[in-house]
Amino acid sequence: MSAPVVEAPADREVPEERPAGDRAPASSRGGSLTAYAMVAPNLLLIVVFLLVPLVWALVMSFQAKRSFGPGRWTGLDNLTRLLGDDVFWRALLNTGIFTVATVPLSVGLGLALALLMDRALPGRGVFRTIVYLPIAISTLVTSLVGLLLFDETVGIVNGLLRDAGIGPVSWQTDGRLAMVTVVLMTLWTRVGFGMLVYLAALQDVDGEVMEAAAVDGAGPLARVRHIVVPWLRPTTFFLVVINLIWSFQVFDVVYVMTNGGPGYDTTMLVTYAYDEGFGAARNFGYGATVGLVLFVVTLAVTLVQVRINRRTEEA
Amino acid sequence: MSRPLRFVVCVLVCAVFAFPLLAMVVVAFTPRELIFDGGAGLWPDRWTTSNFTGLTEAFPVWRWFGNALVVATLTTVLAVAVNLAAGYALAKLPFRGRGLVFVVVLSTLMVPTQAIMMPQFELVARMGLIGFFWAVILPSASTALGVFLARQFFLSVPIELVEAARIDGCNHWTAFVRIVLPLAKPLIAVMALLAFMTQWNDFLWPLITLRDPDLYTLPVAMSYLQGQFDADYGGLMAMALVSCVPLLVVFVVLQRYFVAGFARSGIR
């Protein structure tokens, strides 16, 4: 593995530069104009395509509104319906189950594989590449392959199980197993990412400290537990947060592999919002309300992240 | 763990990870009758390329390919331009409201586009963008990750370099273009790869905005084919294979850039 190309200074945290203008006031003339010109396109895109829709989503959530039609103010009707909506609670629960299943496994297996493939080993580069490959594969391909593997009648897994005298296993008609297949295909693409990020962080583990620990009689497991894992804490934290956010937002795999079924057994927040907004009902008001729940959950996770970050930085 | 044992475990792990890919490739070359008769397997009795020929005869596959290329390329160019410029200004240029701009950029991380897809869609429609690739390109150009990567990189460029250029008579803009940009080639490579891959693989937003089959990008086309093919996995896998091979090749060839990009995204 070559050294990372985009190299921030070695101490990771870059101290804030004094703006050039503070030191040489003469040179700042025209500087701020250039600066505004350089950030303006980005800000414009953010405001138009993100902030305006966010505010509009809030507005829609207080309206009865079908597709592009005019919105009629209905106060808290959408929220009331949401709270009494069994399918919504089911979608929230399913998203929770999916999250609890995918996040620890993505991060944990990523760490395990990174430790496995960190030290010298014949064919290490090939092994790593194979585990990385699914990162570059679109979720659509992943999902179609998932269908091929777990199709109950002509799928590959049931074919192999049949050769072994087992099955057929009802991967698609049993709600729990359908959830398992969705989780498995998600892990296929996520574990490699976790391993990649961990391997990059492991490059920086101090070899001398490890050797000193070994000389002092610390076994491999003790070294992992007391040196490597604490060292990797910021990396783990990052991976947990990004995996949480990805899991809350899950859509593609579910849409293609199960379409939320059987029944509502794999319906997620985003697939439900999509069905309400872009399905037969075309209920933009209610769809936006369901979407805002995702926003609130993401916001909460991010705020918790910021708090924990601040605390560890102070410590 | 001893080295031989680690090797064996690695082989097993890689067998599991390669299994879905292997299944995709094999089934793409399996005659459809075999799949309907006895189900898909890992070693069919006969091989065929008819899944590919049938696919390209019945569907505008190359057009979809071209669409994907155009959309991903335009997004990449636009994304690199706006994120690079913003990242540089945030790192190296003094201006009022700099902190606020950085916070606004970072706060976009908290707004998943999935949460606001209905108003976003109506907005894009009212702007008259539906039916054009711009509906897909414009909303995905500005990314917090892109700005962040650029800012981190430019913070590590010594300010003396920029000041020297200024003393030699460059203004802020020419100093950026002539002195700083040539240093930023590795950064640009990483940003371009990430932007291209993200857009090439994106599904939900193109699914919402590209209503015309002639405009489909590859993921939307695959979802459409899923409805057309039903359980004809040969055709589906042929399409899946065609759609992911270019990116896989790029990924393997430029692996160190991808690794660098993803790894750097892990540092807050």
The pLDDT value given to residue A2 = 33
Q: Tell whether B13 and B141 lie within a shared domain.
A: no
Q: What is the pLDDT of residues B3-13, one digit of tens each?
A: 888 899 999 99
**Is B259 within the bounds of a domain?**
yes
Same domain, B6 and B131: no
Contact indicator for B64, B124 with CB cutoff of 8 Å? no
Over residues A126-140, the mean pLDDT reads: 91
The pLDDT-based confidence of A111 (bands split at 50, 70, 90) is very high
What is d(CA A24, CA B125) in angstroms, rounded to the nearest whole number? 48
Statement to judge: residues B157 and B40 lie in one domain: no
Is residue B97 in a domain? yes
Name the token pair of A26.
Answer: 């003469």
Are B23 and B149 contained in the same domain? no
Nearest to B84 by CA among B227, B195, B160, B168: B195
User: What distance in Å separates residue B15's CA from the closest CA in chain A?
Assistant: 9
Per the CB < 8 A criterion, the answer to whether A83 and A61 are in contact is no
The domain segmentation of chain A, as residue ranges, is 79-314
Residue B54, domain member (yes or no) = no
Separation between Cα atoms, residue A156 and residue B28, nearest integer Å: 13
Pair (B153, B25) in one structural domain = no
Q: Could you tell me if residue B56 is inside a domain? A: no
Pick A8 or A182 by higher pLDDT. A182
Residue of chain A whose Cα is closest to the Cα of B11 = A127
Please tell me whether residues B20 and B114 are part of one structural domain.
Answer: no
B231: CATH: 1.10.3720.10
**pLDDT (tens digit per residue) in B129-181:** 888 899 999 999 998 888 988 888 888 888 888 888 888 888 888 888 888 88
Average pLDDT over every residue of B111-122: 91
- Contact list in B for residue A149 (CB cut-off 8 A) is 20, 23
Query: What is the value of pTM for the model shown?
Result: 0.87
* Residue B210 forms part of a structural domain: yes
List B residues 130-169 in contact with A (Cβ-Cβ < 8 A).
138-139, 141-142, 147, 149, 152-153, 155-156, 159, 162-163, 166
> Is residue B27 included in any domain, yes or no?
yes
Q: Are residues B177 and B242 in the same domain?
A: yes
B118 touches chain A (CB under 8 A): yes
Residues of A in contact with B266 (CB under 8 A): 197, 200-201, 235, 238-239
Residue A42 has pLDDT above 90, yes or no: yes
Grouping H, G, I as helix, E, B as strand and the rest as coil, residue A283 is: strand
Domain count, chain B: 2
More confident residue, A149 or A119: A149
Residues B145 and B16 in one domain: no
Beta carbons of A141 and B120 less than 8 Å apart? no
Alpha helices in chain B (DSSP H): 3-28, 32-38, 50-58, 61-92, 98-107, 117-126, 134-141, 144-155, 159-167, 172-174, 185-201, 204-209, 218-229, 233-253, 255-265
Same domain, B134 and B43: no
Structural domain for B35, as ranges: 1-48
Quote the Cα angle for A228-A233-A236, to 5°.
Answer: 105
Contact A228, A202 (CB under 8 A): yes
CATH code for the structural domain at A79-314: 1.10.3720.10
On whether both B25 and B126 belong to a single domain, the answer is no
pLDDT tens per residue, range A241-258: 889 989 999 999 999 999
Window 79-108 of A: residues touching B by CB (8 A cutoff) are none
- pLDDT tens, position by position, A19-36: 444 444 444 556 688 889
- pLDDT, residue A120, reads 81
Q: Is residue B132 part of a domain?
A: yes
Q: Exposed, middle or buried, B5 (CB in 10 Å: 0-12/13-18/19+)?
A: exposed
Q: Please, how many CA atoms are within 13 Å of residue A52, restricted to the half-sphere of its CB? A: 15
What pLDDT shows up at residue B11? 93
Domain assignment present for residue B32? The answer is yes
Question: What letter would DSSP give residue A64?
Answer: E
Q: What share of chain A is helix, strand, coil (3-state, %, to 5)?
A: 70, 0, 25
Residue B166's pLDDT is what?
Answer: 82
